Structure 1
């Protein structure tokens, strides 16, 4: 199932980003393989290297080429503690995924239990609230409205369902339906 595979890749890459230190000499690919195993991802060193190269095109990552094996770490230009307490609100306000479409919006969403655990460690905003439900949690938060928000929501796969605002819900739904249509067997 391609959607499940994409979701697993995104989850693994997110876990990988959380393992990276903030300064040189960094951490080697071999060390990252073991750390990922500790959090439930069994992958090869080559997969980790491929992920790091791809992620470095999107995120401010540096590779310490001074000695072999190479060490990976967050660039000195990064603001905020990404590894342990990722400041999503700060990231959403950042320049990396402009343009911002507006001031701030209040989102209401259902989130899975694993995502709720992550959000407790790294809240979306100062006013974020999580309310336990029979299955999952209800999330409310005021966040910047922009491309980064949409990418974050889409990267969570089935772990988040936007309920409000309805315009954002419709936009996410349309994007997911169009993506799923690409995987339908037409033969």
Structure 2
């Protein structure tokens, strides 16, 4: 069941991102609730607000605080490709948002069997390696460092645990802990 819940949350958040306009004054949380209902997601305004706050940690989103109700929109720095359909693996490998620093970083992570099957069909990088473990797989790949990588890592939920590099593992852990704390009340 956690996989189904994670998938529903990711699908809802993706639908939410697709509704955001590219400039101020933006769209309100209440308008987003109705937009989500139109595509099959029945959620509260509070859920939309939580989603937006979490997504703003990963994506270049801005909240227009100049008038109430607040409007949400993509930052001027956002790449327009995010609003339509795009190839995630190509986007993660690309340098559209940030130049690749050196040769990238060596990512090592535990991943679920399902994610391993998906990555076999669409590898993250040409040098990606998957090693079967008793439970799940070990992923190794040289990837571009930046927020697209972080977004992808976080979007995998409990299907992925970053092992190395240690600073990235700690950063992802802090982000997930902060997000989980918002659900404690």
State the TM-score, normalizing by the size of structure 2: 0.57
Cα distance between partner residues in 1 of 2:138 and 2:172? 18
Aligned equivalents of 2:38 and 2:139: distance in 1? Answer: 32
Change (3 A) 1:165 1:174: same
- Structure 1 partner of 2:53: none
Residues 110 and 136, structure 1, Cα contact 8 Å, conserved in 2: yes
* 1:102 and 2:74 correspond: no
Deviation at 1:116, TM superposition (A): 0.2
Aligned to 1:163: 163
Is the 2:127–2:141 Cα contact (8 Å) retained in structure 1?
A: yes
Q: Any residues of structure 2 matched to 1:28-177 within 5 Å, and which?
A: 49=39, 59-61=82-84, 74=85, 82=87, 88-95=89-96, 98-100=97-99, 102-103=101-102, 104-177=104-177
The one-character-per-residue Cα deviations of 1:128-185 (angstroms, maximum 9, x if unpaired) are 0000001100000000000000000000000000000000000000000111111112
Aligned residues: 127
For residue 92 of structure 1, report the CA deviation from its aligned partner. Answer: 3.9
Flag structure 1 segments of 5+ consecutive residues without an equivalent.
17-45, 52-56, 62-73
Structure 1 residues 183 and 114, CA, compared in 2 at 3 Å: closer, same or farther?
A: same
Find runs of 4+ consecutive structure 1 residues off by over 4 angstroms. 3-6, 10-14
- Gaps of at least 5 residues in structure 2 are 16-35, 42-79
Provide the TM-score with structure 1 as the length reference: 0.56
Give the whole-Å Cα distance in 2 for the aligned partners of 1:101 and 1:171: 19
Distance 2:149 2:155 in 1: 10
Structure with higher strand content? 1
Take 2:39 and 2:81, find their aligned partners in 1: how far apart are those partners? 15
Cα pair distance change 1:48/1:162, threshold 3 Å: farther
Q: Provide the rounded CA distance (Å) in 2 between the counterparts of 1:108 and 1:169.
A: 10
**Superposed CA RMSD:** 3.5
